[in-house]
Amino acid sequence: MRAWWSGVAVIAAAAAVPAWSQLSSQTSISMLNGEGGWTQAVFVCDSTDRDRVLVLSAPDARRGATLTSLSKPGLVRHQVAVRVGVGDPGMGQVYYPLTNAAGRAVGNVHAINPGMVEPGATTPTVTSVTYGRDTTSCRFAPQTRVLGVTAKRSIQLTRSERDGFVYRSYNHDTDLPAIDQPWGGRDTRASLTITGGRLVEERGGRRIYQFANGGYVYRVLASVDPAKGGGGVQVWHDGRMVLAELFVAYTAAS
């Protein structure tokens, strides 16, 4: 992984209005699994041009937050403490400044105004994160239902009028070229794409999406209950589970 940061910085910030609601989506939930279990996050940035996943924790009352970097593959984590500033909008783009403990600018989070996204933004509209001199582009597609990362791959579920639920996986050990997405989205070519999926279970905050492909059944599970985080992908063949990978971080439309 390209060097970005190491260690954990300590933050001290002056009292201010929380920035949680400015970055998070009102129609989705983002979660990160750590030593203490699942915790709610503001967004999950699955990079399309770096070998990493970035997760921003919920800012506290003083706008203090933790920015976690998970390296691909394996998802070894590094963390840095930041303070999240108020968004500065302009022409449909919004930039949220990031500062360190001393109040010095260290980067920003770039998002698209959700109102500019058609046919609707169902997950956070974050398209890049800058820290220091390095900018990470974030995977984003309108009408996303699940975006999750395991130690080996990223999984994205979207919905369209033509194809219904669409499954895409992106293997972490593969160089996948960038492709265009409408309405300011970011994406890469998928390792595997399956259309025509179904929502087969929705109970107690847990959702299961199912896809059929060449005799195999793919199931994507995600919880939208912040008190019961969890999810992953399973592959079944002839009634037997042949693959199971748990999400370490994910965003799911609620």
Give the tens place of pLDDT for each residue, 3-29: 344 333 333 333 333 444 556 778 899
Nearest to 184 by CA among 243, 117, 104: 117
Question: Tokens 């201010």 sit at which residue?
Answer: 16
- Domains, the chain, with CATH or none: 20-137 (no CATH), 144-253 (2.40.128)
Q: Across the chain, which distance is largest between two alpha carbons, in Å?
A: 59
Low-confidence residues in the chain, pLDDT < 50:
1-20
Closest CA to 231 of 198, 199, 209, 200: 209
Cβ distance 126 to 138 under 8 Å?
Answer: yes
**What is the model's pLDDT at position 22?**
53
* Contact call for residues 234 and 207 (beta carbons, < 8 A): no
Specify the 3-state DSSP secondary structure of 103: coil
- Please report the pLDDT score of residue 126 as a whole number: 95
Q: Residue 134's beta-bridge partner residues? A: 131
Look up the pTM and report it: 0.90
Structure-token pair, residue 239 = 């009634």
- Residues with Cβ within 8 Å of 35's Cβ and at least 6 positions away in sequence, in order, are none
> Can you give the pLDDT at residue 113?
87
Q: Which helix (H) or strand (E) holds 22?
A: helix 20-23
- Counting Cα atoms < 13 Å in the Cβ hemisphere of 96 gives 27
Length of the chain: 254
Q: Residue 234: is it exposed, middle or buried by C-beta count within 10 angstroms (0-12/13-18/19+)? A: middle
